[in-house]
Homo-oligomer: A and B are copies of this chain.
Amino acid sequence: MTGSKAEIIAAVDEALGSLLPKEDMYPPEIHRAMRYSVFAGGKRLRPLLVISAADIFAVPLKHALPVACAIEMVHTYSLIHDDLPSMDNDDYRRGRPANHKVFGEAIALLAGDALLTAAFATLAGAASSCFPAETVIELQRELAQAAGTSGMIGGQVVDILSEGKAVDGQTLDYIHFHKTAALITCCVRSGAIMGQASPEQLQTLTGFGRKIGLAFQIVDDILDVTGDEKLLGKKTGADAGKQKATYPALYGLEAARKKAAILLKEALECLKPFGPAAENLKELARYAVIRNS
């Protein structure tokens, strides 16, 4: 394998640092704002998923890094925009003031826009020196699909429009699969695309990604009810306060916990055909679901 989890996170941080415009580049306000949220102590779950999936196909770490960073940029942009007053109106993120509380709403909005743009610049730039042009375009199509209205944005739209409403299981599944699982699935699919995986392998990893993505979101919702505010770096109970559609709200905590455990088990089973090559991805799946922050 390419290194320990801590080593890979360090490599991701270094790559993000060199891919993003420097803080003092004009106009500095926007570059500071972008870096503030990118280096805000995130778990780097998405880059780790990209790299661990690519590792199954022996894609070198340094080739997978730009793609991993591009997805982390998209994830970070979505958090910045999500926290804005007109959206979730969250003042804190990972124990620190939200981007707009530090840089103001206008710069935060533009920092999100800039990170989304930088993600595609990274694929067309750094990633394109590692892979054939056709592969790069496939990666871009994948990311655009996962991030757009057929993926993450679609999920956010329904999430916001559902606030304060009675939501059925089908709508809740739509929100979770799109808001969270789409980008997580994109991570493992991108690893497979870089590795020239067969259609069957891609299919298998897609199934794994969807299960882990859904489990991850359910655990997020459980932690919003039962978690430790200090470990989470944000106030709990936010979902209930906003009458958000969540798994625990609809099915209860116990059923939510059971569902997450079943999804994790099924996800791990998906990886069987890959044998020991998928060991890191398995470990990561456990980490994504069995966590307290």
Contact B137 A106 (CB under 8 A): no
* Bound form: Cα–Cα A156–B117 in Å: 14
> What chain B residues lie within 8 Å of A106 (beta carbons)?
86-87, 160
**Is A107's beta carbon under 8 Å from chain B?**
yes
Closest Cβ neighbor of A112 among chain B residues: B113
A59 at the interface (CB under 8 A from B): no
Q: Mark A139-160, 1 if CB is under 8 A from B, else 0.
A: 0110011011110011011101
Which B residue sits closest to A122, measured CB to CB? B144
1/0 contact trace for A154-179 toward B, CB 8 Å?
10111011000000000000100000
Q: How far is the CB of A78 from chain B (nearest CB, A)?
A: 8
* Chain B residues whose CB sits within 8 angstroms of the CB of A87 once the complex forms: 106, 109
CB-CB nearest in chain B for A161: B29
Copies of this chain in the oligomer: 2
| A21→B124 contact, CB < 8 A | no
How many angstroms between the C-alpha atoms of A125 and B21 in the bound complex? 28
* B118 in contact with A116 (CB, 8 Å): no
Q: How far is the CB of A83 from chain B (nearest CB, A)?
A: 12
A interface secondary structure, majority: helix
Given the interface pairs A27-B157, A149-B21, the reply to whether A137 lies near B128 with Cβ below 8 Å is: yes
Q: Does any Cβ of B come within 8 Å of A197's Cβ?
A: no
Whether A81 sits at the interface, judged by CB under 8 Å, is yes
Residues of B within 8 Å of A270, CB to CB, are none
Task: Give the chain B neighbours of A34 by CB distance below 8 A.
Answer: 149
Q: How far is the CA of A149 from the CA of B25 in the complex (A)?
A: 9
Cβ contacts under 8 Å, A112 to chain B: 113
Partner among B30, B133, B161 whose Cβ is within 8 Å of the Cβ of A157: B30
Q: Which residues of B contact A109 (CB under 8 A)?
A: 81, 84, 86-87, 109
Q: Which residue in chain B gives the minimum CB-CB distance to A127?
A: B137
Shortest distance in angstroms between A73's beta carbon and chain B's nearest beta carbon? 11
